[in-house]
């Protein structure tokens, strides 16, 4: 089965005093596909995903997820919000009859958040905040290692994005910061707006937090790290507040408004 579960299109306006004068206008769009394969398929999942990606439109920002049918049906039984949503609202592009027979007639209604989901969200946010706090403490030391601070900030950002995705979709996405941020755009652009990449300087800043220059021996200076600390702090706050709004209606009435997590506030 191939399901288109999201489509985005829009116009981006770019303006920078460091590049050509004026405004650059760019139209863009993206398709988000879920490919469900047979449990007995002999090709590894990575190979199937590569085939799916190569069949997407060229020069498009496409996201392709590949799952085996057994995993999807199990998650549907567990009331996974992500799969329940794509089967309700997605567009079926291709399916064989045998695959359609496997899907339950009535998808489980999602009207609550389990204790396990709450506990998992708490752990993700707690780890993101702990990494940020430790990075801030490292910066206060005279002999602080900038590499360690950068690694801590990168891990904090990744966990903040993972928290954001789990709260909204009920699905765990793992990967590097760039990959998880790209997936978060399926929800909205709140997190990507923190690293807009609209100028050369912003692009370099995002490459630094993504650890793109680590293998080249890059050493972040004392001016860069405080900027990154501030950005990651905003990312954590946005992830927490957005997730709180999203999950409020899914929690039991007696637990609404009480997530048990303190937000790391900053100016």
Distance CA 222, CA 208 (A): 13
**The two three-digit tokens of residue 242, written as one number:** 């957005």
- pLDDT tens for each residue of 132-183: 999 999 888 877 788 899 999 999 999 999 999 999 888 888 889 998 998 8
- Whether residues 127 and 221 share a domain: the answer is yes
- Whether residues 78 and 155 share a domain: the answer is no
Residue carrying structure tokens 């021996």: 217
- Whether residues 96 and 158 share a domain: the answer is no
Handedness of CA 184, 185, 189, 192 (dihedral sign): positive
Residue 142's CATH number: 1.20.120.330
Domain annotation covers residue 201: yes
185 has pLDDT over 80: yes
pLDDT value of position 144: 75
Q: How many domains does the chain have?
A: 2
pLDDT value of position 258: 46
Q: Whole domain around residue 75: which residue ranges?
A: 2-102
Strand partners of residue 35: 2, 66
Among 47-51, 56-60, 100-104, which range has the highest average pLDDT? 100-104
- Whether residues 138 and 246 share a domain: the answer is yes
| pTM, 2 dp | 0.74
- Whether residues 249 and 128 share a domain: the answer is yes
Domain annotation covers residue 218: yes
Final residue belonging to a domain, choices 57, 79, 102 = 102
259 has pLDDT over 50: no
* Window from 5-14, 162-171, 213-222 with minimum mean pLDDT: 5-14
Domain annotation covers residue 18: yes
Taking residue 210's Cβ as centre, other Cβ atoms within 10 Å add up to: 18
């Amino acid at each position: 089965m191939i399901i288109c579960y999201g489509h985005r299109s829009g116009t981006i306006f770019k303006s920078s005093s460091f590049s050509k004068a004026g405004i650059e206008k760019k139209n863009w769009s993206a398709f988000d596909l879920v490919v469900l394969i047979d449990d007995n398929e002999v090709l590894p999942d990575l190979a199937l995903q590569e085939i799916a990606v190569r069949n997407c439109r060229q020069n498009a920002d496409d996201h392709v997820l590949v799952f085996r049918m057994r995993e999807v049906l199990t998650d549907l039984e567990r009331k996974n919000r992500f799969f329940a949503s794509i089967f309700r609202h997605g567009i079926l592009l291709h399916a064989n009859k045998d695959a359609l027979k496997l899907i339950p007639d009535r998808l489980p209604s999602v009207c609550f958040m389990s204790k396990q989901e709450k506990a998992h969200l708490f752990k993700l946010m707690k780890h993101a905040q702990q990494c940020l706090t430790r990075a801030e403490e490292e910066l206060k030391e005279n002999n602080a290692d900038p590499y360690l601070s950068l690694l801590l900030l990168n891990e904090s950002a990744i966990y903040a994005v993972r928290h954001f995705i789990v709260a909204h979709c009920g699905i765990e996405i793992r990967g590097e910061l760039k990959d998880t941020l790209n997936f978060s755009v399926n929800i909205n652009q709140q997190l990507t707006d923190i690293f807009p990449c609209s100028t050369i300087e912003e692009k370099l800043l995002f490459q630094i937090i993504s650890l793109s220059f680590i293998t080249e021996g890059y050493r972040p200076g004392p001016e860069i790290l405080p900027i990154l600390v501030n950005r990651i702090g905003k990312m954590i706050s946005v992830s927490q507040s957005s997730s709180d709004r999203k999950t409020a209606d899914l929690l039991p009435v007696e637990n609404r408004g009480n997530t048990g997590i303190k937000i790391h506030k900053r100016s």
